[in-house]
Chain A
Amino acid sequence: EAQVTQNPRYLITVTGKKLTVTCSQNMNHEYMSWYRQDPGLGLRQIYYSMNVEVTDKGDVPEGYKVSRKEKRNFPLILESPSPNQTSLYFCASARSQALTQYFGPGTRLLVL
């Protein structure tokens, strides 16, 4: 089954404790992206990747890092999480940047 998976689905952590949210897709897609969804703000793009070893900043990249060492994986790293990063995070992938994206189920993060 074609899908985008994210882990964990729910995470509670404390300020400053590094964490990684994993994202994996099995569709051999070149384009992958991370979004955060906040009330009243919709989905905002954090980082995107056009292909392996190619990443770029989206609209709200501050406080986040990503890497794209393999085509299928695109982890989101929060080196020093802060409470304002409490949000619902979605990973997405697409065959190329101009085509429709497939979204993962979301990761709900709470930073205390």
Chain B
Amino acid sequence: DQQVKQNSPSLSVQEGRISILNCDYTNSMFDYFLWYKKYPAEGPTFLISISSIKDKNEDGRFTVFLNKSAKHLSLHIVPSQPGDSAVYFCAADTGNQFYFGTGTSLTVIP
């Protein structure tokens, strides 16, 4: 049973526009939520995280929003750049175990 879900397998966005990637989860015991970015033939790399006690965290062009009542988080990338084209995984942490979503492939069109 998937505890972290990314329902959009792919997303295409024009360069300069906003990319919004979504993630839903079922376990209310998750402490931390993270986004990882993955290029082909490489391991995932950490992008941004948010504690369960916060509702927003910002780092440059990347902002993560957490809505605990809806068990939903989203990653906003503004402005989107062609180099952002990659697969994005959201992940959640119970303190020792990690659960990843299935990934969303983002394509930023120049």
Chain A: residues with CB nearer than 8 A to chain B? 4, 33, 35, 40-45, 48, 50, 56, 58-59, 90, 92, 97-98, 100-106
Contacts and interface: CB of A to CB of B under 8 A. Distances in A.
Nearest to A41: B102
A59 B43 contact: no
B25 interface: no
23 contacts: A4-B43, A35-B100, A41-B102, A42-B102, A42-B103, A44-B100, A45-B100, A48-B97, A48-B98, A58-B98, A59-B97, A90-B43, A90-B44, A97-B93, A98-B32, A98-B93, A100-B49, A101-B46, A102-B46, A103-B43, A105-B41, A106-B42, A106-B43
Nearest to B51: A98
A105 B41 CA distance: 7
B95 interface: yes
Interface of B: 2, 4, 6, 31-32, 34, 36, 41-46, 49, 89, 91, 93, 95-103
Given A98-B95, A102-B46, 13 more contacts: A42-B2, A42-B4, A42-B103, A45-B98, A58-B97, A98-B32, A98-B93, A100-B49, A101-B46, A103-B36, A103-B44, A103-B45, A106-B42
Contacts of B42: 105-106
Nearest to A90: B43
Contacts of B44: 43, 90, 103
Contact of B96 (A48, A59, A100): A48
Contact of B102 (A40, A45, A98, A105): A40
A59 to B, nearest CB: 7
A103 B103 CA distance: 16
Given A42-B89, A98-B32, A100-B34, A105 B43 contact: yes
B4 to A, nearest CB: 8
Nearest to B5: A42
Contacts of A58: 97-98
